[in-house]
Structure 1
Amino acid sequence: MEKLTPGIFAPAPQRASFGRMAAAQGRIEAKLMLRHGEQLLLNVLIPAAILVAAHFAPILGENTEFNVLVPMVFAVAATGAGFTGQAIAVAFDRRYGALKRTGASGVPPWTIIVGKILGVLATVVVQLVVLGAIALALGWRVSPGGAVFGLATLLVGVAAFTAMGLLMGGTLRAELVLALANLIWLVLMGILGWVGYSGDIAHAGWWNAVPTVALAGALVQALSLQVNWVAWASLAAWGAAAVTAAVRLFRFDG
């Protein structure tokens, strides 16, 4: 019988690398979001229904072109995934102690935040595939350069909305977040629809102070390889303010 060298089974505990921890947490968050029926309804089914309905019926007016409608729907989807979905998920994770228990397991707080961001990005990928396929089937066309610039613009918008969602979900009570996040989503969608119906979404003026309008306007021009500086400035301001506030005020329990 072969003798084992002493110490061959000696434990060597050490923290996993940043990449492994972030990837593991991201997989968990992505599965939770993509398996949740309400999240799928908010993030995929409602935007898809808006896209199809607005294509066949002039619900946003006769003058709203399909090439403008598609970016507006992407803005709706980004708001649902980044803001509303994250705010509610984080708030109830805090209420039931899920974030606190995860932190007690040795996972650093930043890993939890990064994991939630990766979960949102996974949802955005699903949104892009589903909504993009529907839009292409309905006749939407975009150049490769426009698609790349549009994707970059969308990711900036998603980052801003995710920061806002983490801020709300990480500071307020779950019951308040549930009501307020859905109400704000409805208000943002209403304003976006009104601006799209009554004017030019790419030149919305002061309406760019509303983040959904800013994202839609930035996307409209990005897909045509143009830059909407006012909309970009608005998104940057919302994102910077939300990140700064979230870093200072976010609580893992409550």
Structure 2
Amino acid sequence: MSEIAATTQNSSNAASLLKRIAAQGGYEAGMMLRNGEQLLLAIILPLLAMIGLVLTPLIDGVSDTRINAVAPGVLALCVVSTAFTGQGITTGFDRRYGVLRFLATTPLGKAGLIAGKALAVLMVVAIQVVVLGAAALIMGWQPFAHGDPVSIIATAIVFILVGVLTFTALGLLIAGSVRPEATLAITNLVWVLLAAVGGLLMPVRHLGGIWGPILEFLPSAALGDGLRSAFYHGEFNGIALLSLVIWGAIATLGASRWFKWD
């Protein structure tokens, strides 16, 4: 009887699934922020991109000032840096060393582990938005010059949340289907390409050429355009959000189908 009572007591004291997810998310977010390479990807490189574009004429003509043109794209770059590249690399090497397989057998479970990873990305992205948003404000950014602040903030939050889910799914799809070394190469290469010509830092139509209409269908362009529409014009870009949701659904289905835990 005493053993049964002890088991019942232990079961009643077990953390709920939400608490386990929160604990896992907090742990992974802390690990990401303590990792020098992740910090470089999350904060330093987006900050350097913002400073570089403000000091050069590459983005002239997109908005009324360079910093107003650059800042929304840098926030989009933050999402891709953490959700896609950072989480993809971390998950790939966790998979190699058996961490994923081990955690999937704990009470956290596979679904809880994935939810914890998404929560960790949200935590880190929130810090990125605060830090880089503050840096942009110091450089003269006027985020509410063209619309209602409440509406602009709400729109930006929607696009950032959907962007986090979409690019986390894309990162997990790659990390769970190829070798860690390939994940490292692919995610870093894609990050560079999306930052340069994928519609993150500047609208693809600003690049010119015949590739613009094709590149507009990329999830990076949808995220960048959604944030730019909010901060440039105070508008909600429904087409961009729909594109981002479709990409997220495809990536989620792909990850659930092809992700390998070991």
TM-score (norm 2): 0.86
Structure-2 residue corresponding to 1:227: 236
Alpha-carbon distance between aligned partners in 2 of 1:25 and 1:135, rounded to the nearest angstrom: 31
Structure-2 residue corresponding to 1:180: 186
**How far apart are 1:172 and its partner, in Å?**
1.2
**How far apart are 1:35 and its partner, in Å?**
0.8
Contact 2:95 2:176 in 1 (8 A): yes
Alpha-carbon distance between aligned partners in 2 of 1:17 and 1:62, rounded to the nearest angstrom: 52
Kindly, what percent of the aligned residue pairs are identical? 38
Structure-1 residue corresponding to 2:154: 148
**How far apart are 1:56 and its partner, in Å?**
2.5
Classify the secondary structure of the residue corresponding to 2:83. Answer: helix
Structure-1 residue corresponding to 2:31: 32
**How far apart are 1:53 and its partner, in Å?**
2.1
Residues 213/197 of structure 1: CA separation in 2 closer, same or farther (3 Å cut): closer
Residues 173/129 of structure 1: CA separation in 2 closer, same or farther (3 Å cut): same
Post-superposition, which runs of at least 4 consecutive aligned residues in structure 1 deviate over 6 A? none
Structure 2 counterpart of 1:182, one-letter code: N
Alpha-carbon distance between aligned partners in 2 of 1:154 and 1:91, rounded to the nearest angstrom: 24
Contact 2:73 2:200 in 1 (8 A): no
Contact 2:170 2:252 in 1 (8 A): yes
Instruction: Please tell me whether residue 10 in structure 1 is matched to residue 6 in structure 2.
Output: yes
Structure-2 residue corresponding to 1:67: 68
Alpha-carbon distance between aligned partners in 2 of 1:194 and 1:80, rounded to the nearest angstrom: 11
Structure 2 counterpart of 1:10, one-letter code: A
Gaps of 5+ in 2: none
Deviations 1:51-99 (A, max 9, x none): 12222222x2432333221111111111111111111111100000011
Alpha-carbon distance between aligned partners in 1 of 2:200 and 2:171, rounded to the nearest angstrom: 23
Residues 243/120 of structure 1: CA separation in 2 closer, same or farther (3 Å cut): same
Classify the secondary structure of the residue corresponding to 2:32. Answer: helix
Structure-2 residue corresponding to 1:98: 99
Structure 2 counterpart of 1:63, one-letter code: G
Structure 1 counterpart of 2:107, one-letter code: G
Residues 185/228 of structure 1: CA separation in 2 closer, same or farther (3 Å cut): same
Alpha-carbon distance between aligned partners in 2 of 1:109 and 1:189, rounded to the nearest angstrom: 32
Gaps of 5+ in 1: 1-5
Contact 2:41 2:81 in 1 (8 A): yes
> Quick check: 10-19 or 147-156, which moved more?
10-19
Give me the CA root mean square deviation. 2.3
Structure 1 counterpart of 2:61, one-letter code: N
Deviations 1:223-252 (A, max 9, x none): 333122332222111101001111122222
Instruction: Please tell me whether residue 42 in structure 1 is matched to residue 38 in structure 2.
Output: no
Structure-2 residue corresponding to 1:213: 221
Structure-1 residue corresponding to 2:84: 83
Contact 1:61 1:197 in 2 (8 A): no
Contact 1:25 1:115 in 2 (8 A): yes
Alpha-carbon distance between aligned partners in 2 of 1:103 and 1:194, rounded to the nearest angstrom: 34
Deviations 1:145-190 (A, max 9, x none): 2122112212111211111011111121111111111111111112
**How far apart are 1:193 and its partner, in Å?**
6.4
Residues 84/163 of structure 1: CA separation in 2 closer, same or farther (3 Å cut): same
- Greater C-alpha Rg: 1
TM-score (norm 1): 0.88
Contact 2:199 2:220 in 1 (8 A): no
Contact 2:198 2:204 in 1 (8 A): no
Classify the secondary structure of the residue corresponding to 1:126. Answer: helix
Contact 2:59 2:70 in 1 (8 A): no
